[in-house]
Structure 1
């Protein structure tokens, strides 16, 4: 039998790899323990809503996880919970946002420490999908992604020859800029994927602001659908008058 001594570099590296692996395991255990430690004992857990019905591919719901302490006070545990879905009809993000992926039903699992709760979810899509609203969906999404921020196209002089109203404050102006300005090059009802309003924020072409959202994001989906549906202009639609929390 011929025994070959491993190179000294390999002999030194092996213990390092083992120690690094152990450190990762300990870190994960510490993180899990820390999450549980932040939840007081004898806390009643309430998940809102306790069931979900969705009727559009654009429907979303935010799960809220509340802890009720023994003295009756409440604490928000949404950020400490872990979420999962047992159905292909929808998925749930790590922040508890439920998004539709298809038709069907199942349950969403919410885990807090060693406790688990199931939330029934049912997705029954309407036969006719509602048109995408420019005023209530496109404009807010552009603002959410920073497009109409003062550091970007919402600046007084715009950015790169393209200007939007600051934070979507003037939907009529934004519609004109997107659909009619620059010879209508920013949108494309025939081939939305070749529109600048998708090409640039997806970083398919040069864009000073870089990539703003992904191909699979809700923003990309709605921008594409809005153009496919003929660039519907609903800036005169009803507006929210008040908001109560």
Structure 2
């Protein structure tokens, strides 16, 4: 009995099962109603299974579908990628339970303009360049200072993009471009 309880606890901790041998009472899809704007936009959906007052992420075990057909697709990890403009319904199925979410896709073919805060500051944050151990510290690092976790993107833009002749190449996190972005910095960072 102890071995079975240990196995069930291990599996539920990883979202494989809600509670050992029991089905979910209900599931929900998060977010439930959204609008996606612009080319290359995506949205990650989570499927949450509910039972005995607890919720667990069961996205990896759920099956997804999109209607109408051809307006978009959802991969196994719950990432929705639109293919055309219009309203869509995302349906998730887990243990015989069904949850739905509404999606409105607008300006599908329109490219989003470049934004330092969206395109560059997020890379600094993901790489840890603007945390307290690096350039986000009070004094910065190597003479180069960024705001902690991109709290002040305009200041970061001024200090990094317009700063000086040295460069720092950071790979983009965008799926649309795997090229590197070269930035003018006082010193090479990270």
TM range (shorter): 0.5 to 0.7
- Candidates 143, 146, 171, aligned match of 2:128: 146
Provide structure 1 residue ranges, at least 5 long, that are not aligned to the other structure. 1-26, 187-195, 203-214, 228-245
Q: Structure 1 residues 132, 168: CA separation in 2 closer, same or farther (over 3 Å shift)?
A: same
Q: Check conservation: 1:35, 1:113, Cα contact below 8 A.
A: no
Supply the distance in 2 between the matched residues of 1:161 and 1:220 (Cα, whole angstroms). Answer: 33
TM-score by length of 1: 0.47
Mark the structure with the bigger radius of gyration. 1
Q: Is contact 2:38-2:110 (8 Å) kept?
A: no
Instruction: Tell me, yes or no, if the aligned pair for 2:136 and 2:146 is still in contact at 8 Å.
Output: yes
Tell me, yes or no, if the aligned pair for 1:52 and 1:122 is still in contact at 8 Å. yes
Higher strand content, 1 or 2? 2
TM-score w.r.t. length of structure 2 = 0.57
CA distance 1:42–1:163, shift in 2 (3 Å): closer
Deviations 1:126-149 (A, max 9, x none): 454332332355434422442211
The match for 2:17 is 36
Match status 1:165 vs 2:140 = no
- Aligned equivalent of 1:212: none
Distance apart, 1:158 and its partner CA:
3.3
Paired residue secondary structure (1:65): strand
Answering whether residue 63 of structure 2 is matched by residue 81 of structure 1, we say: no
Deviation at 1:181, TM superposition (A): 1.4
**Residue 29 of structure 2 contacts residue 100 of structure 2 at CA under 8 Å; is this kept in 1?**
no
Q: Which residue of 2 aligns with 1:178?
A: 160
5+ residue gaps in structure 2?
A: 1-6, 184-190
Quick one: structure 1 residues 145 and 85, their matched pair in 2 at CA, closer, same or farther if it must change by over 3 Å? farther
Matched, 1:103 2:84: yes
Correspondence for 1:218 among 162, 170, 174: 174
Instruction: Give the 3-state SS of the residue equivalent to 1:129 in structure 2.
Output: coil
State whether residues 88 and 104 of structure 1, in contact with CA within 8 Å, keep that contact through their aligned partners in structure 2.
Answer: yes
- 1:55 positional shift: 2.5
- CA displacement at 1:125 relative to structure 2: 3.3
- Contact 1:36–1:112 (Cα < 8 Å) also in 2: no
Q: 1:55 aligns with which of 14, 25, 37?
A: 37
Aligned length: 165
- Aligned-CA RMSD value: 4.4
Q: Partners of 2:143 and 2:82 in 1: how far apart?
A: 37
How many angstroms apart in 1 are the aligned matches of 2:11 and 2:134? Answer: 38
Shift of 1:103: 3.3
Which is richer in helix? 1
Change (3 A) 1:182 1:42: closer
Counterpart of 2:29 in 1: which secondary structure? strand
